[in-house]
A and B are shown apart, each in its own frame.
Chain A
Amino acid sequence: MVDIPYEGIAGIPPAEVPEVELYHPRSWWTRYVFSQDAKVIAIQYSLTASAIGLVALVLSWLMRLQLGFPGTFSFIDANQYLQFITMHGMIMVIYLLTALFLGGFGNYLIPLMVGARDMVFPYVNMLSYWVYLLAVLVLASTFFVPGGPTGAGWTLYPPQAILSGTPGQDWGIILMMSSLILFIIGFTMGGLNYVVTVLQARTRGMTLMRLPLTVWGIFTATVMALLAFPALFVASVMLLLDRLLGTSFFMPSLVEMGQLSKYGGGSPLLFQHLFWFFGHPEVYIVALPAFGIVSDLISTHARKNIFGYRMMVWAIVGIGALSFVVWAHHMYVSGMFPQFGYFFATTTLIIAIPTAIKVYNWVLTLWRGDIHLRVPMLFALGFIITFVNGGLTGLFLGNVVVDVPLSDTMFVVAHFHMVMGVAPIMVVLGAIYHWYPKVTGRMLNDVLGKFHFWVTFLGAYLIFFPMHYLGLLGVPRRYFELGDTAFIPSSAHSLNAFISVVALTVGFSQMVFLFNLAWSLFKGEASGGNPWRATTLEWQTPETPPGHGNWGKELPIVYRWAYDYSVPGAAEDFIPQNQPPRATQLVQGAAS
């Protein structure tokens, strides 16, 4: 054992504040279906998000079939292609990644990592899931209504989003807006829970600066979401009114199908401002939980404390704050007052500073660490590489003069897929490999996991890296087919076919992962409570998977930060957060 800076909290039992009144399920229904237990809600969130995410994955295959082999597949027409693009983007960004990181990982990890028995208001938490499920069902129903889902692109820009000629103008756009409104209501109920749990329901000894970075990432992202989703809520309500009641918030007077439309005087730019005031923070709502989780994965599997913990926390908070003042960099080509571009380019590039701090700290954590290349670590390393790549192209696109020619090309598609598609998904997959043993008590199969990683990582690179080149050639995004355009060489077409083949391969390799998830549930090797020998509280629960109320009779007491790995002189190469300092010190501490 080793001398740990000791703060006099030993011997004081954790305060079970009077609000801790667990809801005890009395039947199968209230235990597994209408459950108020955050762990069950987390699994419900994760399964629902993954199910709708698989739909989005299939949509991407259809898009790639069309792009790679235009004219070959008669069952995809131009309208459907636009619908696939729209639904793929919307599902992946909001219904999969946001819901999975905050509703899934947030619900599971926050109470366990801060040493709480549950979220502060389990009933509201349960409602959150059911409203989210309703939002997903409304969204999915658009595939079956007359006219199909909206094809306005995931940004849903008016006026075209609600004009005739855009696919899904009848039902699709109305249901999309309704679904978004429901999602925001559901998310708010969950998000309030996550924030209050982190702020007010930590166990004794768990100061904010002892929280694992996972909690910091999810917490900051949730705060941002509570402040950013209102803009999307308002934009959705107003677009819905424009479509349903014929108001003209966003609709200018224009000629539609040869006739002057009923609209007049609205501002399409207003929608873009509202949308991106939500949309840019949304990037970091997805990225910050990934940052947090990856920090913990790297530290645990490199058996080394995270480098610069305090700076990591401030970087997360700083990125969160900055991301609210950069939104118009999505609008450089929208006809904005040009000098605003200067402001927004500056703020955008400033974000590179905290982001770079984080990347350096991850790399410095790895430096001379005892790196175990287990599957979660592989995904964490894959994240760093794809994220750096996506971040560097972000520097291109943040500059007005570079962005203008690259806008609406495949370069943008490559950039955001790298930075907020592949990178967070890498973390999601790594996190599933990491916490699956805690959720189920069994390990995922290692061989299948490594296969899954290499195909996914290399495949994702082969898909998205060439897209930068396509973008530099000027290949536009969202085009159904390129046709015989003079400036696009035939190599671009070959490259498109290549990307499609790889995309299908990577897509199907995910089935290996799904098989692994299902197979290991029954046949996986038993994991024990702490297979990775990690320090954070969720690995110290008396039962695995954690029981109702998480902690048995008494809440844990936290004595140290979350990163006591390879402490010199310590018996083990990790010291759990709830392990008291050595006995002599304990007496000293109680006396002082």
Chain B
Amino acid sequence: MAETVLTHAGQSTAQLEGWRGIAADWASDQRAFKNVSWGKAMMWIFLLSDTFIFSCFLLSYMTARMSTTVPWPNPSEVFALNIGGNHIPLILIAIMTFILISSSGTMAMAVNFGYRRDRVRTAALMLVTAAFGATFVGMQAFEWTKLIMEGVRPWGNPWGAPQFGASFFMITGFHGTHVTIGVIFLIAIARKVLRGDFDVERRGFFTSRKGYYEIVEITGLYWHFVDLVWVFIFALFYLW
């Protein structure tokens, strides 16, 4: 959706002040959010709903952690790696976090090049983002494997509260699913960008809607959200 600017954006009667003005703006003609396309509005509202899902997961985990009567395993130790004889706490998670946040950077650049109609750079940066995301999921798979080898299960672990494994697999699994879906979408959209679908407004296979470069930005919104959620998981699960 390139052109969403409304011509004749409704009556410009007396401007209202304060709260009444805000209410009047929101309630005004045709669109509550001017110059916001349907797709972008929908993604924002979806992310709001998804925020509630992650919040419920995290609050449930925190409830379990605070109310358990057996000790909670120390995340610094559980997530430590031995690299070259050095015992480094949380090193894998640190790298994963760095990779995911970097991917947000490349995604933002892809959005920028998308609006400049630079097909090759946009697609390349989206694929780099997808590669970062895939790396993240790969490292998560490594982490899962390591923990499973050490005896962590959803129903118990060698070090303490059984909710540790349950919460860990559930929350990182749910987040990892989000990242995986994001990677799939990034690759699909990158392919469309490279093929020039958005220049010729080619219609989508399923929806038969025309595509616009804004889709890159909408995908980006989702991707940044997934990164942001990870920051909370990182802080509340690993650093606590």
Complex: chain A residue closest to B27, CB-CB: A208
A257 contacts the other chain (CB 8 A): no
* Chain A contacts for B36, CB-based, 8 A: 200
Stretch of A6-14, A88-96, A506-514, A528-536 lying at the B interface: A6-14
Q: Which of A7, A193, A230, A248 contacts B162 (CB 8 A)?
A: A248
* Chain B contacts for A15, CB-based, 8 A: 6-8, 30
A227 contacts the other chain (CB 8 A): yes
In the complex the two chains form, what is the Cα distance from A252 to B56 in whole Å? 20
In the complex the two chains form, what is the Cα distance from A227 to B49 in whole Å? 5
Stretch of B63-71, B73-81, B183-191, B223-231 lying at the A interface: B63-71
Complex interface residues of chain A between 179 and 224 (CB less than 8 A to chain B):
188, 192-193, 195-196, 199-209
* Chain B contacts for A203, CB-based, 8 A: 30
* A262→B155 contact, CB < 8 A: yes
In the complex the two chains form, what is the Cα distance from A202 to B10 in whole Å? 12
B232 contacts the other chain (CB 8 A): no
Complex: chain B residue closest to A558, CB-CB: B29
In the complex the two chains form, what is the Cα distance from A362 to B11 in whole Å? 32
A245 contacts the other chain (CB 8 A): yes
* Chain A contacts for B3, CB-based, 8 A: 18
A266 contacts the other chain (CB 8 A): yes
* B32→A200 contact, CB < 8 A: yes
The answer to whether residues A226 and B70 also contact, given A121-B38, A204-B29, A209-B27 and a CB cut-off of 8 A, is: no
B1 CB, min distance to chain A CBs, angstroms = 6
A107 CB, min distance to chain B CBs, angstroms = 16
B145 contacts the other chain (CB 8 A): no
B240 contacts the other chain (CB 8 A): no
B127 CB, min distance to chain A CBs, angstroms = 26
In the complex the two chains form, what is the Cα distance from A188 to B45 in whole Å? 10
- How many residue pairs at the A-B interface have CB separations less than 8 Å? 153
B28 contacts the other chain (CB 8 A): yes
The answer to whether residues A196 and B45 also contact, given A18-B1, A245-B155, A265-B162 and a CB cut-off of 8 A, is: yes
The answer to whether residues A270 and B37 also contact, given A204-B29, A248-B155, A265-B68 and a CB cut-off of 8 A, is: no
Complex interface residues of chain B between 1 and 50 (CB less than 8 A to chain A):
1-4, 6-8, 10-11, 13, 26-33, 36-39, 41-42, 45-46, 48-50
A231 contacts the other chain (CB 8 A): yes
A21 contacts the other chain (CB 8 A): yes
Q: Which of A8, A18, A202 contacts B31 (CB 8 A)?
A: A202
In the complex the two chains form, what is the Cα distance from A196 to B55 in whole Å? 23
Q: Which of B28, B41, B55, B206 contacts A207 (CB 8 A)?
A: B28
* B57→A265 contact, CB < 8 A: no
Complex interface residues of chain B between 196 and 214 (CB less than 8 A to chain A):
206-210
* Chain A contacts for B48, CB-based, 8 A: 226-227
* A9→B49 contact, CB < 8 A: no
B55 CB, min distance to chain A CBs, angstroms = 8
Q: Which of B11, B49, B64, B166 contacts A267 (CB 8 A)?
A: B64
The answer to whether residues A199 and B64 also contact, given A227-B48, A230-B53, A241-B170 and a CB cut-off of 8 A, is: no
Stretch of A67-75, A232-240, A487-495, A571-579 lying at the B interface: A232-240
* B166→A199 contact, CB < 8 A: no
Q: Which of B11, B32, B60, B166 contacts A274 (CB 8 A)?
A: B60
The proximity string for A residues 259-294 relative to B, scoring 1 for CB distances below 8 Å and 0 otherwise, is 000101111001000100100000000000000000
Q: Which of B46, B70, B165, B206 contacts A123 (CB 8 A)?
A: B206
Complex interface residues of chain B between 148 and 184 (CB less than 8 A to chain A):
154-155, 161-163, 165-166, 170, 174
A555 CB, min distance to chain B CBs, angstroms = 10
* A241→B46 contact, CB < 8 A: no
Residues of B within 8 A of A (CB-CB), count = 55
A177 CB, min distance to chain B CBs, angstroms = 14
The answer to whether residues A249 and B166 also contact, given A123-B207, A196-B41, A231-B52 and a CB cut-off of 8 A, is: yes
Complex: chain B residue closest to A193, CB-CB: B42
In the complex the two chains form, what is the Cα distance from A237 to B166 in whole Å? 12
Residue among B2, B56, B206 with the highest chain A CB neighbour number at 10 A: B56
Residue among A120, A200, A274 with the highest chain B CB neighbour number at 10 A: A200
The answer to whether residues A230 and B166 also contact, given A199-B32, A199-B41 and a CB cut-off of 8 A, is: no
In the complex the two chains form, what is the Cα distance from A227 to B74 in whole Å? 33
Complex: chain B residue closest to A203, CB-CB: B30
Residue among B2, B32, B36, B165 with the highest chain A CB neighbour number at 10 A: B32
Complex interface residues of chain A between 122 and 162 (CB less than 8 A to chain B):
122-124
* A7→B26 contact, CB < 8 A: no
In the complex the two chains form, what is the Cα distance from A102 to B69 in whole Å? 44
The answer to whether residues A206 and B64 also contact, given A7-B11, A241-B170, A262-B155 and a CB cut-off of 8 A, is: no
* A249→B41 contact, CB < 8 A: no
Residues on A facing B (Cβ under 8 Å): 7-9, 12, 15, 17-19, 21, 23, 120-124, 188, 192-193, 195-196, 199-209, 226-227, 229-231, 233-235, 237-238, 241, 245-249, 262, 264-267, 270, 274, 277
Chain A to chain B: the 6 pairs with minimum beta-carbon distance, closest first? A208-B27, A230-B52, A247-B166, A234-B56, A246-B155, A230-B53
**Told that A18-B2, A23-B207, A247-B163 touch, could you supply 13 new A-B pairs with CB distance under 8 A?**
A7-B13, A8-B13, A21-B210, A120-B38, A192-B45, A200-B37, A203-B30, A207-B27, A230-B49, A230-B53, A233-B53, A234-B56, A267-B67
